Amino acid sequence: MSILSELLPPANVLVDVEVNSVKKLFELMGVFFENRYSLSKDVVYQALFARERLGSTMLAKSSGWAMPHAVITSISEVLCGLVLLRNSIVFDQRGWRASVFLFVLIPPSWRDRVSCVYNEWRLLSEQKDVVETVEGMDNPSALYQYLFHFSSN
Residue 94: which of 45, 61, 63 has the closest Cα?
Answer: 61
Is pTM beyond 0.95? Reply is: no
pLDDT tens for each residue of 58-100? 997 788 999 999 999 999 999 999 999 999 999 988 899 999 9
Region at 151 (left for phi over 0; alpha for psi -120 to 50; beta for the rest): alpha
Domains, the chain, in order of start with CATH, read 12-151 (3.40.930.10)
**CA atoms of 36 and 131, how far apart (whole Å):** 28
**CA atoms of 57 and 51, how far apart (whole Å):** 9
